[in-house]
Chain A
């Protein structure tokens, strides 16, 4: 479960200001905002731009460029399945199909009840214990259909 606070302009500004002196501060700031709020609210764009003395287009461009940065709040849980070659060699594609079917959501989407965000990831660096996935930040290796079912059960019973 990702514990994110609801978006708060005041707190966001404090976070942005705290990191402003770092050389190349945009990524550390955006990471810090997302860690706190779970996503980067639209309101952050002019805020970060002003503090860093950059254009809004530049900040928006950064947010849009990187896969990690979300512009919408994610589901309460995040399941990232590795789709890179080493995991493919051990059956990752079947796991993707299994997760999509059970969650009734495709890669990059969130279930209708807002519970689980499903995403592909290209390499978690666990290639010798493939296939791998990351559930709410926890890395899990040697996943097979039964283990994935077990994890999906756990999600089903979770809040």
Chain B
């Protein structure tokens, strides 16, 4: 055995990296190092969010961390033949990781730590500045914590954009025998994966944010509701919670203080509607995920009828930094009433999809063209759907829209959870409009008629339009139906499904005017 320090090689354990072969790459590196009698330590980190380059392998060399992108197990012997362990050049080289323009141009606050280390090492978390927000929170009165969050301008990252601090203030002053902090990790929107990346890549950050929330509002119990489509995130969080308990951050006497906070994790069961906060609470209570009438607000009567904070993963994960660096530090990022940074998720038909954290205000076009590098297929760009399945389809003329809640609203769009799905010119927007209604019909909880029945009628009407039956009258009917769904649905599912439909009609009318045809659901 040589006395030389072992070389660290990072191979992500993130689900996306695993889905494109990271496990085989890690095994190949371990095997190859052994064969060559080299001292290599493979660290299974989270993802850096450069998903276009996964599996992204990094080597800690004297140059710093150097990256190799889209590595396959078959590439590994060749890498070792070159100067891989010294960070040397290879056809898969991306250079020093921090200098990769995709990463360098970002403003990472929430994701600053994600992908740097083994996500389950609480020592690494502490070493990289973790728990500093909690430490500062413990020196403050709970009211001051709430006011810090109010002053930061943080708005709910789940989609609705409601000021997080105001929600906390309501829960703080509400009367209840047991208050709760619930993390909505039911990230069901297509094109979004930031919650998943964070839960898998930096789980202690979310836990820290929830502990701070508990202290701030006087809640001693928390739940993370994770969708079942995210088994990796569920497992990682479950382990992270156990580690946090062992290290005294959860349970009685949080970090040696007088506060107590218990945290548990629950698995969803494949219902998109449970991302709606009241349906999520029903589901946590062990019932069907049917939405509740509001009022009462969950902040007054939430989980088991008690005052409850329901916040998205990214909202809670933004809190530790706000506490650590102060409200104004966070508020100084952003534009207009959208303060701080937004973890943007770029996906679909795009060359370089991944996580891009930027201050609010960057335009849609800068994200798609400069970060994304155009479509994956090489065909011309045609449309981008922003904000998940309930978000509008924007044409090229709208690529100057700044990512900001109000700017999107002004263009009858939705920033939502910050997911952008790119389509090339092979897309048929009539079909996408039909899909929006079909999705709503599949996922409707059934409580209100506009959503339950309207979505099915919507599919039928669009089918008739596509089939060329009485197009003008059917389009008028569709318009009318959309208005009804928007005005009369109880929650965002029925209320926003018209967004993709109406935007498709408005910006891509030619797709509704093609020669008559019929569609099958899964075509």
Contact = CB atoms under 8 A, between A and B. Distances in A.
A88 B421 CA distance: 10
The residue among A26, A30, A120, A139 with the most chain B CB atoms within 10 A of its own CB is A139
Given A86-B421, A132-B19, A127 B229 contact: no
B201 to A, nearest CB: 13
17 contacts: A23-B285, A26-B286, A27-B269, A61-B288, A62-B287, A66-B269, A67-B270, A68-B270, A84-B191, A86-B190, A86-B421, A89-B424, A122-B188, A122-B439, A123-B189, A124-B229, A128-B350
A31 B432 CA distance: 33
Contact of A127 (B20, B284, B419): B419
A111 interface: no
Nearest to B178: A23
Contacts of B422: 89
Contacts of A67: 269-271
Nearest to B385: A85
Contact of A128 (B189, B193, B283): B193
B415 to A, nearest CB: 16
A58 interface: yes
Interface in A28-86: 28, 30-31, 52, 58, 61-62, 65-69, 83-86
A84 B193 contact: no
A128 B16 contact: yes
Contacts of B522: 83, 93, 96-97, 100, 106-107, 120
A127 B191 contact: yes
Contacts of A68: 228, 268-270
B16 A85 contact: no
B63 interface: no
B15 A122 contact: no
Interface of B: 15-16, 18-20, 51-52, 54, 187-193, 196, 228-232, 266-272, 283-290, 304, 345-350, 353-355, 376, 385, 389, 419, 421-424, 427, 432, 435, 439, 442-443, 522-523
Given A66-B289, A84-B190, A125-B196, A90 B269 contact: no
A142 B16 CA distance: 10
A134 to B, nearest CB: 8
A24 B223 CA distance: 11
A108 to B, nearest CB: 10
Contact of A86 (B191, B229, B424, B442): B191
Nearest to A96: B522
A109 interface: no
Interface string A114-131: 000000111111111110
The residue among A27, A83, A139, A142 with the most chain B CB atoms within 10 A of its own CB is A27
B421 A62 contact: no
Contacts of B419: 86, 127
A37 to B, nearest CB: 16
Given A27-B283, A123-B190, A139-B18, A128 B354 contact: yes
A126 B193 contact: yes
Given A86-B348, A90-B348, A125-B15, A27 B266 contact: yes
A130 B19 CA distance: 10
Nearest to B347: A127
A85 B229 contact: no
Given A126-B193, A139-B19, A121 B229 contact: yes
A68 B186 CA distance: 14
Nearest to B384: A89
A79 to B, nearest CB: 14
B15 A139 contact: yes
Shortest beta-carbon contacts, A-B, top 9:
A128-B353, A26-B286, A84-B190, A127-B347, A67-B270, A66-B269, A141-B19, A128-B51, A89-B348
A93 B523 contact: yes
A127 B271 contact: no
Given A25-B286, A28-B266, A61-B288, A129 B271 contact: no
A122 B440 CA distance: 12
Given A67-B269, A127-B345, 5 more contacts: A24-B284, A62-B288, A89-B422, A122-B442, A127-B193
The residue among A25, A86, A124, A134 with the most chain B CB atoms within 10 A of its own CB is A86
A141 B196 CA distance: 15
The residue among A68, A106, A128, A139 with the most chain B CB atoms within 10 A of its own CB is A128
B348 A130 contact: yes
Nearest to B199: A125
A6 to B, nearest CB: 23
A65 B284 CA distance: 14
B27 to A, nearest CB: 15
Contacts of B19: 126, 129, 132, 139-142
Contacts of A52: 286
Given A107-B522, A125-B229, A129-B353, A85 B191 contact: yes
A123 to B, nearest CB: 5
A27 B423 CA distance: 37
A122 B443 contact: yes
Contacts of A23: 285, 304
The residue among A28, A90, A121, A125 with the most chain B CB atoms within 10 A of its own CB is A125
A122 B435 CA distance: 12
Contacts of B290: 65
Contacts of B192: 123, 125, 127
Contacts of B190: 84-87, 122-123, 127
Given A23-B304, A121-B229, A123-B189, A69 B52 contact: no
Contacts of A97: 522-523
Contacts of B442: 122
A57 to B, nearest CB: 11
Contacts of B189: 123
A67 B439 CA distance: 14
Contacts of B16: 125-126, 128-129, 139, 141
A31 to B, nearest CB: 6
Contact of B349 (A90, A106, A125): A90
A128 B345 contact: yes
Given A86-B347, A89-B422, A132-B19, A123 B188 contact: yes
Contacts of A96: 522
